[in-house]
Amino acid sequence: MSHLTMMTSMPSAAPPAVAGMVPGARAAALRDRAGRAARRLAGRWTALVALSGAAAWTVWTVFAPSDWHEAVTFLAWGALLPVAAGVAAMLWTRLPRVRTLRAAGSSVLHASVLLLAAGVLWNRTSSFSLPLELIEGQTAALPGTPGTLRLDRYQRSLREGRWSKGDAALVTWLPGGRAAFARTVYANHPLEADGTRVYLDIHGFAPLLAVSDAATGRSFRGFVGLETALPPRVRYWKNLDEPGIPLRAHLAFRPAAQGPYPRDPRLTLIVPRADGGAPITGVLRPGETLQAGSAAVTFEGVRSWVRFTVCRDPGLGLIFTAFWVAVAGAAFALWPRVLA
């Protein structure tokens, strides 16, 4: 029988009344009550129910429809509180009686659950993950930092030593007020900038467009990033949607897939009419313009385009520390069992 089971099976006296006692005795009586409650909460069934519930919920997330996940995730976070309370109660009752390496390891393992819960909750409330799209030569603000990021060049198949490193983005990070840093971002090598990490996501080519509307006098220049990492026969469509400009277009871009830039790129535009009639279509070469009612769309050229993912996870250090504390605790708790 485990030591904890023996403790919970001992006959217990009735809890003393708290009201009307002197302060020192009252504090002792409250501690005694809390201890009894903790021992009840830290029973052997609590761990079993918590682990079984967590396993069942995890299996459910794999097979359940994705639109139910948010609701059950919310419930699961709510269940985390009593689980953490149970673990804390178990540690409170067990720590004063730790005498062996195995008991210490078990306590450390269970304490890591609290560390992990704290790290995950902290991270959920203050982390972010945002996309950042750039074409070659473009500079944009880097979310989460006071600086900016410039995409200098996109290099296909960076070679380093024996192996190809895959595609890489050569960027310059301008931290604002400090010297600029040139970095290469590729698989397993994100850019670390003031606690923010920049990852290479997807890439392709972006047709550059100039749009002007004679009726409203509005105009803008921009690009539409199209992923072209897949076989060149596949066509990639994306909507162009600029508020205030009465122009919605479907863009398709078929690269020639020769060399770093496509040879002879053709941009296919499909512009729906406001009156629901047959859409206006056109296939443009660089420099050509499509007239769509009062709007004119000029295809100015092609640039390499990259989408980065910018992340900040302040709780990550605590989460990873919890992992390794759990491993150390499990090793010390279970190794004597392996050797016995």
Partner 1 sequence: MIQAELAGLWTAVAAYAGAFVLAALGLALGRRGPLAAALAAAALAWLAQGAALACRGVAEWSPPFNTYYESVLFGTWLAVGALLWLARRPDGLRAGIAVAAPLVLLLLGSAMFTDRSLRALAPGLQSWWLVVHVCFALLAFGSMAVAAAAGALLWLPRARSFAAPRAVERVLPRAFALAFVFQLVMIASGSIWANQAWGRYWGWDPIESFSLVTLLLYGIALHLKTQFGWGGRKLAWLAAAGLLATVYGIWGVPFFQPSVHLYQGPRGPGGG
- CA neighbor of 225 nearest in space, from 88, 328, 335, 133: 133
CA–CA separation, 33 and 259 (whole Å) = 76
Q: Is the separation of the CB atoms in 150 and 176 below 8 Å?
A: no
Interacting residues with partner 1 between 278 and 337 (CB under 8 A): 308-309, 311, 313, 316, 319-320, 323-324, 326-327, 330-331, 334-335, 337
CA–CA separation, 330 and 157 (whole Å) = 43
Nearer to partner 1, 54 or 84 (CB): 54
Residue 140 interacts with partner 1 (CB under 8 A): yes or no: no
Which listed residue (39, 183, 197, 303) binds partner 1 by CB under 8 A? 197
Q: What phi and psi values does residue 125 have, to the nearest 5 degrees?
A: -85, -20
- The DSSP 8-state label assigned to residue 189 in this structure reads B
CA–CA separation, 212 and 197 (whole Å) = 37
Q: Is the separation of the CB atoms in 218 and 244 below 8 Å?
A: yes
Distance between the two ends of the chain, CA-based, in angstroms?
17
Which listed residue (129, 216, 281, 294) binds partner 1 by CB under 8 A? 129
Residue 206 interacts with partner 1 (CB under 8 A): yes or no: no
Which listed residue (143, 166, 246, 279) binds partner 1 by CB under 8 A? 166
- 193 - beta bridge partners? 196
Residue 130 interacts with partner 1 (CB under 8 A): yes or no: no
CB of 162 to partner 1, least distance (A): 6
Residue 202 interacts with partner 1 (CB under 8 A): yes or no: yes
Residue 270 interacts with partner 1 (CB under 8 A): yes or no: no
Residues at the contact surface with partner 1, assessed by CB under 8 A: 1-2, 4-5, 44, 47-48, 51-52, 54-55, 58-59, 61-62, 69, 129, 162-167, 186-188, 190, 197, 199-203, 308-309, 311, 313, 316, 319-320, 323-324, 326-327, 330-331, 334-335, 337-338
